Structure 1
Amino acid sequence: MDALDLARWQFAITTVYHYIFVPITIGLSALVAGLQTAWVRTGREEYLRATKFWGKLFLINFAMGVVTGIVQEFQFGMNWSAYSRFVGDIFGAPLAIEGLLAFFMESTFLGLWIFGWDRLPKRVHLATIWLASIGTMLSAYFILAANSWMQHPVGYTINAERGRAELTDIGAVLTNSTALVTFPHTITACFLTAGALLLAVSAWHLRRGNQVEVFRPGLRLGAWVVLIAGVGVLITGDLQARIMTEQQPMKMAAAEALYETSKPASFSLFTIGSLDGREEVASVRIPSLLSFMATGSPSGEVEGINDLQRQYVQKYGEGDYVPNVPVTYWSFRLMIGFGALAMAVAALALWSTRKGRRPAGRWLWLAAISTVTMPLLANSFGWIFTEVGRQPWTVFGVFKTEQSVSPSVSTANVATSLIVFTVLYGALAVIELMLMLRYARAGAPETVVPPGEDEPDRPLAFAY
């Protein structure tokens, strides 16, 4: 493996790892804010206990997300300096806005929320967690706007003399059609992930009969969030698929391993054949579904890999413009499959707990507890599909991945940092898992003194 391959592996490992924490943080911040709102409106202690409990898990994930996210920016300068030099004028703008506006907003108001329980008026304190939650979503938008520019570059011009892309319209970058469909798809996936966490942890406690007054509502809230967010993921994903087909038809063709243009085109749930999908032995197919996903019409035409390869050669010059078909094909299905499986378990959990019922059967409890892994896997495979399906481009149609790697970084340098980061992230994974399990198993506090009702001279202290 050369420096390019190792750099791609390193960025993939650190990005997928980082994105484990992002959807939990974004979704859970809003759910914690919702629980605190319920407490402020009703005064019921179980809502305050739930706010404190889920707030701990939210803060752990936020901290881990910040730590692992910093590494991403260092890699642009270390392993991808040619890319940074080429796109820095454009890519840096939304990332700078994210850092100076959104991240400072979420971190500032999160600090006020953590330390302001006994110092801020109740409703002002509530506003801090809502503003922190809004900050996490704004942060996501600006980062997605940067990534969307890589998928569909707009608002720029190429300066041939300097050999780089230069920003001409920041409004076009921030209102990129790709960003406008990717953002709601990502946010609904975040809520699906956070809802699954509520469902899984609550199921674990209810299986043992712990704190039923807190975790039974938590289980049902999580299940409803998973179902509603899941529907949102399906709707926004449908819109995103059509935009993707317009902008990156090769990615959609690779998602089905469709080599020949077809009208209409079926969608295979499962295929047995050669690894690259050229030779099919057997498959389970839904007629016309790929046409509907790609064009909005069950009789629409979907261009195949072979035709698109010839078009790309004419447009961009000689080269192989076909992404890794096996990875693209299976990551697309695993993304959909794990998301649908989480929705199915959530529906079963709601049905089993209707009208005060307590679910019976070990397998139902195991399914509910394991739900937390399903959206995390769906998110990871979704990003793998998005990024691998764009290859061989870092900026689609403009700048190739092989041009993006740092010219002065040797294979040994990248291999060393890859090993170090992998070991470090493995250690962080153990720490994260231990912290999450420790605080999740501890359950909600048995009694909580409402803020403002203890001694007025109490010094400023961390809420937990």
Structure 2
Amino acid sequence: MSIVSLARFQFAMTTIYHFFFVPFSIGLALVVAIMETAYIVTKKKEYLKMTKFWGNIFLLSFAVGVVTGIIQEFQFGMNWSDYSRFVGDIFGAPLALEALLAFFMESTFLGLWIFTWDMVNPKLHAVFIWLVTFASMISALWILAANSFMQHPVGYSIKNGHAVMTDFKALLTNPQLWYEFSHVIAGAIVTGGAVVAGLAAFRLLKKKVESPAFYKKSLKIGLVVTLFGSIAVLTAGDLQMKALVREQPMKFAATEGLYKDTGDPAAWTLIAWANENQHKRIWGVDLPYVLSILAYDKPSGAVQGLNSVNKQLVKKYGARNYYPPVNAVFWSFRIMAGFGTLMLLVSLLGLILARKKKQLLYKQRWMLWVLGLCTFAPFLANTAGWLVTELGRYPWTVYGLFTIKQSVSPNVSVASLLTSNIIYFLLFTGLAITMVSLIVREMRKGPDHDESLSEQEKKDQQVDPFDKGAFE
């Protein structure tokens, strides 16, 4: 257990856990905004019920996302201080804009949305949740502007051993930013739709379910959002992978498990396993022509392997091991792409079966089980995608400029890192249990819970905590 490995594990743990809730809250905010807009247009009370019911689950995801985000950012100063010193002049601007502009906007309009039911015009109230959705996406944009610099540094110069921003516009026009942003937002849309559809499917599996029409309508909306998001995420992912062929050939070769240069045309490896110590593939199943089509949109063209790219990097940056963890990157990519394709097919099939004339979906328990289990699919896909993005950049924190070993804080110890790892693990486990239990409780309450309360119970829930009588 070295300092570098423990620091990397801690950052991976905090970042992955935080990233469970980023696409969750962005996507669910969009779904809730769509539901409230449907209420404004149709005046149907069922859409208002959906807005409030799924809005409660969105608020839970937002709250936990804020907590985990604070812990995740704390890592920069705690374990990666040398990295923070190196990129601080560049990261300062986008991270400040994220906090002062996007997050404040998101929090302000979320507060207005929560506390102004029946107090403002319904159309204005719907605008609040759309502004929350927009602000959450802009927040992601600024964070990804910083991350895209790590992937593809632009608009900088090196002064006194530090990266200094010379062109802020270059950060915003960085092609890597827009590949990442479109991919992340599309993944968030899928997450929001899949969660709503999956949780609704679980409720419909109950033998005696209250308000079945409510969950059927919610499921259909979730499927539509999931289908749209799945098409977008596969398109964005395809464009991002094509860019890797040019910008990060080592990462691209790792996602395909290629140690040797391919022939022309290039075959795509469906499944494989590599001996990372000997830098060679042990076994694999190849599909002819497919990799050329995926990489170049034509059935011809060769792809460089890890060994060739490593020689080029040694010549350019000096003697060092530039091989990423190939098996982890290879299988993470397939998990991401596999679940992305699965959600596209499942949402399409679900909508076909849910057509008004026959509505076969609600009679097929096996399909409801599939939809329910797909609640977890976007979380696995999002996590796998970020593993590809970050592990594939090894050994760099900032590609071509700063390595992982250079980035670690010089004053941390194995004991302190091990202790904080245990504490964070227990904290995140507690948060996860709390989050899941609260969602389950909301689902069990059902959409008609508020209407079933007595007038006195409603008044008790609306007590102003700052009113002097609240404590009497």
TM-score, normalised on structure 1?
0.93
Residue number among 392, 403, 407 corresponding to 2:406 in the alignment? 403
Alignment partner, residue 362 of structure 1: 365
Equivalent-residue separation in structure 1 for 2:42 and 2:463 (angstroms): 26
Equivalent-residue separation in structure 1 for 2:315 and 2:86 (angstroms): 24
Alignment partner, residue 222 of structure 1: 222
Deviation for aligned residue 1:461 = 6.5
Deviation for aligned residue 1:156 = 0.2
Alignment partner, residue 203 of structure 2: 205
Q: How does 1:297-316 map to 2 (within 5 A)?
A: 297-316=298-317
Alignment partner, residue 437 of structure 2: 434
Residue number among 372, 379, 384 corresponding to 2:382 in the alignment? 379
CA deviation map 1:262-297 (0-9, x unaligned): 232222221256467955565333322222333333
Alignment partner, residue 37 of structure 1: 37
Task: Give the 3-state SS of the residue equivalent to 1:354 in structure 2.
Answer: coil
Q: Which is further off, 273-282 or 336-345?
A: 273-282
Q: Cα RMSD between the aligned structures?
A: 2.0
Question: Structure 1 147/281 Cα, relative in aligned 2: closer, same or farther at 3 Å?
Answer: closer
Task: Give the 3-state SS of the residue equivalent to 2:447 in structure 1.
Answer: coil
Q: Which amino acid aligns with 1:128?
A: F
CA deviation map 1:298-323 (0-9, x unaligned): 31221111111110001000101110
Give the length in aligned residue pairs: 453
Alignment partner, residue 444 of structure 1: 447
CA deviation map 1:157-190 (0-9, x unaligned): 000xx21000001110122100011111111110
Question: Structure 1 414/273 Cα, relative in aligned 2: closer, same or farther at 3 Å?
Answer: closer
Q: Which amino acid aligns with 1:403?
A: Q
CA deviation map 1:390-421 (0-9, x unaligned): 00000000000110000111111111111110
Question: Structure 1 20/43 Cα, relative in aligned 2: closer, same or farther at 3 Å?
Answer: same
Q: Which amino acid aligns with 2:186?
A: T
Contact 1:189 1:233 (C-alpha < 8 Å) held by counterparts = yes
Equivalent-residue separation in structure 2 for 1:183 and 1:407 (angstroms): 33
Alignment partner, residue 75 of structure 1: 75
Deviation for aligned residue 1:250 = 0.2
Residue number among 184, 190, 193 corresponding to 2:188 in the alignment? 190
Task: Give the 3-state SS of the residue equivalent to 1:215 in structure 2.
Answer: helix
Q: Which is further off, 87-96 or 340-349?
A: 340-349
Q: Which amino acid aligns with 1:326?
A: N
Contact 1:157 1:166 (C-alpha < 8 Å) held by counterparts = yes
Contact 1:156 1:169 (C-alpha < 8 Å) held by counterparts = yes
Alignment partner, residue 147 of structure 1: 147
Alignment partner, residue 64 of structure 1: 64
Contact 1:276 1:325 (C-alpha < 8 Å) held by counterparts = no
Equivalent-residue separation in structure 2 for 1:103 and 1:281 (angstroms): 48
Q: Which is further off, 14-23 or 222-231?
A: 222-231
Contact 1:23 1:191 (C-alpha < 8 Å) held by counterparts = yes
Question: Structure 1 97/427 Cα, relative in aligned 2: closer, same or farther at 3 Å?
Answer: same
1:415 paired to 2:418? yes
Alignment partner, residue 455 of structure 2: none
Equivalent-residue separation in structure 1 for 2:381 and 2:278 (angstroms): 22
Alignment partner, residue 326 of structure 2: 325
Task: Give the 3-state SS of the residue equivalent to 1:166 in structure 2.
Answer: strand
Contact 2:259 2:280 (C-alpha < 8 Å) held by counterparts = no
Question: Structure 1 331/277 Cα, relative in aligned 2: closer, same or farther at 3 Å?
Answer: farther
Q: Which has the higher contact order (CA 8 A, sep 6+)?
A: 1
Q: Which amino acid aligns with 2:98?
A: E
Contact 2:36 2:51 (C-alpha < 8 Å) held by counterparts = yes
Equivalent-residue separation in structure 2 for 1:231 and 1:423 (angstroms): 37
Q: Which amino acid aligns with 1:432?
A: M
Q: Which is further off, 349-358 or 260-269?
A: 349-358
Q: Which is further off, 220-229 or 184-193?
A: 220-229
Task: Give the 3-state SS of the residue equivalent to 2:12 in structure 1.
Answer: helix
Contact 2:110 2:132 (C-alpha < 8 Å) held by counterparts = yes
Contact 1:328 1:385 (C-alpha < 8 Å) held by counterparts = yes
Deviation for aligned residue 1:147 = 0.4
Equivalent-residue separation in structure 1 for 2:314 and 2:414 (angstroms): 30
Q: Which is further off, 375-384 or 266-275?
A: 266-275
Structure 2 unmatched runs, 5+: 453-457, 466-472
Contact 1:198 1:222 (C-alpha < 8 Å) held by counterparts = yes
Q: Which amino acid aligns with 1:391?
A: Y
Contact 1:257 1:278 (C-alpha < 8 Å) held by counterparts = no
Q: Percent identity?
A: 47
Alignment partner, residue 468 of structure 2: none
Q: Which amino acid aligns with 2:410?
A: P
Equivalent-residue separation in structure 1 for 2:352 and 2:449 (angstroms): 28
Alignment partner, residue 452 of structure 1: none
CA deviation map 1:313-343 (0-9, x unaligned): 0100010111011111110111111222222
Deviation for aligned residue 1:82 = 0.2
Q: How does 1:2-401 map to 2 (within 5 A)?
A: 2-159=2-159, 162-208=160-206, 209-262=209-262, 263-271=264-272, 274=275, 280=281, 282-355=283-356, 356-359=358-361, 360-401=363-404
Task: Give the 3-state SS of the residue equivalent to 1:65 in structure 2.
Answer: helix
Contact 1:339 1:378 (C-alpha < 8 Å) held by counterparts = yes
Q: Which amino acid aligns with 2:9?
A: W
Equivalent-residue separation in structure 2 for 1:280 and 1:242 (angstroms): 23
Q: Which amino acid aligns with 1:73?
A: E
